[in-house]
Structure 1
């Protein structure tokens, strides 16, 4: 069986300079998908663009600012977008299927498994799933926020061999190449550290919601999942096939521990789970989590933010506010306020039921 590759294409790459869907680019992309399928590869396409296409159809010159109008644009544009994909792919004898997701569909374990089963069956049938967020009904709480992360969640859900983001830039640069002629393309990244995060900026176009920062967040998730991720320029010649084959100008986020993927449950918690709050930890706790694979204990916690219950997903932040991991807490925020910073033997004196209870057990913690 060939490789399983997830491609994500953004609105800024799909849309032409006239504000319309670039059918020539869509045709080129679909021809490359067909080429990969003839080789025996399986392909999933995560496609933005519905709202941007809908803007054009409904006569909006600028991106609407209110949610109902944005959702109306997404509803109008999604039909046109999937029709174009279906028409062009059919010319090469390739069938496709539309898959619309919200975070609410995958944050529940049953929904997560149902979505995975649907993807697996479509791929068995030789169909190309075309995925987008269901923007017509998605609300902020259950929104993925950007399709870079949606693609990462899909890649981890189906245990893809690689994840490729087709962008409007060659990859991650040391500085902004539009303003600094000395900017250098970083070809390989093995670890997302403060220096890498500092190189990422904000959203980069009038069509898309993501920028390099969202791609770095997706890359961090993919490294944790053991799935290599590539960022490349989507409009470069033969971009999809070149990226799949490891050629062309690009940034590759490699996985030093590739082959030892995190447990599926950890990935579900870390990527799809909706964070209800956060805990901040000291440098010693960060070292214990990252280097020793330890559970998170109350003694290492310096602050608690938000209101959450036992069993909720919470984010774990380092001393500088950086995201260290995400996991399921065994304490409520109220209880954690009482015991944070204390050793377990001290806690046992007034909460004996918590004598051996970590805040987050290592089996329920995804460390990025």
Structure 2
């Protein structure tokens, strides 16, 4: 078939090689002969490979209808913080694995389209949106023909390397329906734990927003090790909401909100508002499902973590994403703590990488927690780890209970020689506090300690 035979379908090439054709809008510099339609290779269709959905331009921008009746206990709630969530100018939206995949563990284009529709409707209000997307490992299971969630690290990382590509491809395709670009941001716990790297991630997310792109954040499961992980993307979303100075956090999964027990059990009561830890007394939360790593316990922990940073949280089902992003009258609302931590103290407690441990006697524990005093050498009974001046270290009680964290003023070698000694008995060079009160942050109660 010659080029002349194809004039109805292709513009003639320009006299100058590579010149653009005004009629076609692209450059044609192919061979003079067009190959006949090819036949697929023998292995085509024998494996469950991902087939991207079509890019069909959207014609309207509106919130999807909620998949919940108005008389459902999770629907129709109001509070001042729900109003703040509904009007928040910068939000983080975490999507669970089960909300992104089908029953076979493959990326579900229809579900991603529903999510993108709701996010675009919220952005049309002038809201900046940051997405924390789970599902890399789950989305890699189908194409790799894995019937169960991997348990060994190498297979998890292999599945994540496949799934991350497919997820990014589908997010890009779905937002392309609105003429919008996405940017992928892969983080490890080490990235959040080192201050300079955390700032770099923060700048990347901020710049993507300024350029009107949607940041899609996920844990970098392909390189994260079992010792240096966020644990689940609910916790990652809470930390991202802090790093991005978000005004609200949405935790979306496969449950309508928080119940005091499994909602399938008779007599389960819905919990609409969590104002403090008192509202969680008697609540029994379970672990993750077939594809996810979190579960309700992880979501409650992440919600309380975000509230400690002063960020209100709405917890509900992805099926209710339209109602959640629109008026926020569905699901469970976690109120932010009034005594929110400063950005530095929050980072030290919940994100920073610890380089050692200082064991304290009871008097020193009382001084740093109740008295908010600087930590002195006389109250330290033992030093663990090899650290340098300026590193962050854990502060623990005699029983090994984690009390807080702080920036240490001595390296481990020098500190080991002065512990248990009164300041007056030390040389001038060693009379400064081991951890100054300004660089020491404590946990207010055991419920908020890292898991």
User: 1:261-304 CA distances to partner (integer Å, 9 max, x unpaired)?
Assistant: 53332233223212334456678766765666444456666x75
SS at match of 2:258: coil
Structure 2 portions without partners, runs of 5+: 1-86, 445-451
Q: Tell whether the 8 Å contact from 1:168 to 1:233 is kept in structure 2 after alignment.
A: yes
Aligned length: 357
Aligned pairs for 1:83-122 (under 5 A) are 83-122=169-208
Q: Normalising to structure 1: TM-score of the pair?
A: 0.83
2:307 aligns to what? 223
Q: Pick from 232, 235, 240: which aligns with 2:319?
A: 235
Deviation at 1:211, TM superposition (A): 2.5
3-state secondary structure, aligned to 2:124: helix
User: Greater Rg, structure 1 or structure 2?
Assistant: 2
Q: Please list, as runs of the form range in 1=range in 2, the aligned pairs for 1:108-147 lying within 5 A after superposition.
A: 108-147=194-233
Consecutive unaligned residues of structure 1, counting only runs of 5 or more, are none
Pick aligned residue for 1:70 from 149, 156, 178: 156
Q: Are 1:167 and 2:253 an aligned pair?
A: yes
Deviation, structure 1 residue 199: 3.7
Deviation of residue 226 (structure 1)? 1.5
Asked if structure 1 preserves the Cα contact closer than 8 Å seen for 2:304 and 2:334, the reply is no
Deviations 1:105-150 (A, max 9, x none): 2333222222111111111111110011111122234322211121
Q: In the TM superposition, what is the alpha-carbon distance from 1:14 to its structure 2 partner?
A: 2.4
Root mean square deviation, CA, Å: 3.2
CA–CA separation in structure 1 for the residues paired with 2:416 and 2:333: 42
With normalisation by structure 2, the TM-score equals 0.69
C-alpha separation in 2, matches of 1:46 and 1:135: 14
2:437 maps to 361
- Secondary structure of the residue aligned to 1:238 is helix
Q: Quote how far apart the aligned CAs of 1:225 are.
A: 1.6
Assess, with a 3 A threshold, how the Cα gap between structure 1 residues 88 and 77 changes in structure 2: closer, same or farther.
same
Go from structure 1 to structure 2 and tell me whether the alpha carbon gap of 1:204 and 1:105 turns closer, same or farther (over 3 Å shift): closer
Distance in 2 separating the partners of 1:115 and 1:47: 16
- 2:102 counterpart SS class: coil
Aligned residue in 1 for 2:405: 326
